[in-house]
Structure 1
């Protein structure tokens, strides 16, 4: 990006040029457009609950209903162990980071196609779109967390000092969704089939994550491979922070964070390298 002065003018217009370097990511511009990020997040929250009968209550109803179904099927019928804690709290503590991750991934994965009119009309850092889409579900997470506190009081589950680490596991869920979402939303611009794959991917991913069951049910010989799923560390860490259940495997957590970091860096590079063609293809 270069600045050139107009003759007989005090204004300095901005000349926008595409990135010529693969690693010229231009991340500094994200801070310059931070107010737009706030607007996009707020718009996504408003649009999500616009013209709904119960409004933002869906942020609470969805995880509560899922928790009730899990409690009946996995807790009562299948007798899945819950680390010695009441199964409703056990399941709900996992549903919070999982629902945040799934909603963030679903929205970010289709965010570019959903904002096609905005992309073709005005310039701004395109990375703001999936970033805003991944951030908006934090509002749902906040309201759901209030329900979790109520469940803990009802079942007399005492919070632990591990709750200080909750932001770390929320951040891991956020970065996991953003990392995968960057790849999916970029591919979705050219291959619209990706939009149909995302819901199936999320559904399959849930069963591959310890949402309805503890990670200890996975055989020891598969633990390393299982840890490549970044949501394993996030969910188990969330449970440990909330209930003081079995201490998470910090080696597995480190593997998960490594996978997230590589996926995120690769996703940003792929996104920035491809964004010059978004307006032409979308």
Structure 2
């Protein structure tokens, strides 16, 4: 499975990325088991069992709404007098952030936590991130269904842009995978990443419109926030459910750039992973 550094250049990274769907299909049985283990492991032994998959996002929403909506008296843009609307606008941002945080925070220790796949089992190590992403998407789907239920109950309708949410999430997942591949490879050599990355993800949350509307940010600062990989996704998913306008996706140029950046990050993450993989067995 290993290759030398001279083979881990752009060509091998591109080939590995293009071959990813076929690789996933080939190992679908094992991946299905790993995904089940990842999801089931989160609720094993708990009294509520799978109920935690529903309760967790609701508790998270309640906590942030209490702190920011009640204690700090925050309100959301033109809907400044409604705590209910604040909760509805806050929820999708938290759900998107959790996909990113769960995958990226786990990535730096992923290879180290699976030494058998490095030394004993013939397995494409880049697929180790797939169960983590899949579990995060399951949690997102449950939370998203709860959010849409709340939107319908409180507003009586759901925006038509809802149908565009998969178009937003697909490149976002690709970007998350690229970041995770790079961190998984570097985490084998730099163990401090496990402590640093959670701090960085928290900074990214506060530097994206998860807890506040983008309209509250000074005009001159807004372009900087779009450098954050969370901003466009959070804005688009929120608008898809709350408005008839699908948010940032109304601008094809902006969405096209987002897709291009996601593909590039995935390619770069693959290149880093391929380049550092030959030394995994010696470091694990």
Q: State the TM bucket, normalised to the shorter chain.
A: 0.7 to 0.9
Q: Distance in 2 between matches of 1:105 and 1:212?
A: 20
State the distance in 2 between where 1:157 and 1:254 align. Answer: 32
Shift of 1:253: 4.5
| Distance in 1 between residues matched to 2:26 and 2:194, nearest whole Å | 30
State whether structure 2 residue 81 is matched by structure 1 residue 79: no
- TM-score norm. by structure 2 comes to 0.84
Aligned twin of 1:55: 49
Greater helix content: 2
Aligned counterpart, 2:99: 100
Q: What TM-score, normalized by structure 1, do the two folds share? A: 0.85
Mapped pair 1:18 → 2:12: no
SS at 1:55's partner residue? coil
Q: What is the alpha-carbon distance in structure 1 between the residues aligned to residue 152 and residue 86 of structure 2?
A: 14
Structure 2 counterpart of 1:263: 265
Query: How many Å separate the matches in 2 of 1:154 and 1:233?
Result: 26
1-structure distance, mates of 2:59, 2:106? 21
Q: Is the 8 A contact 1:170 1:234 kept in 2?
A: yes
CA contact (8 A) 1:101 1:177 kept: yes
Uncovered stretches (5+) of structure 1, i.e. residues with no partner: 1-15
Does residue 1:148 correspond to 2:147, yes or no? yes
- 81-90 or 264-273, which moves further after superposition? 81-90
Q: Deviation string for 1:90-128 (max 9, x for gaps)?
A: 111222222222222223332212212332111111111
* Residue 282 of structure 2: aligned partner: 280
Contact 1:228–1:259 under 8 Å retained in 2: no
The alpha-carbon distance between structure 1 residues 83 and 70, as it changes in their structure 2 partners (threshold 3 A), is farther
Greater RCO structure (CA 8 Å; 6+ sep):
2
Q: Shift of the alpha carbon at 1:74? A: 2.3
Question: Which residue of the partner structure matches residue 231 of structure 2?
Answer: 232
Question: In structure 1, the residue corresponding to 2:247 is in which secondary structure?
Answer: coil
Report how many aligned residue pairs link the two structures. Answer: 267
Compared CA separation, residues 213 and 253, structure 1 to 2 (3 A) = farther
- Structure 2: which 5+ residue stretches go unaligned? none
Residue 237 of structure 1: CA displacement?
Answer: 0.3
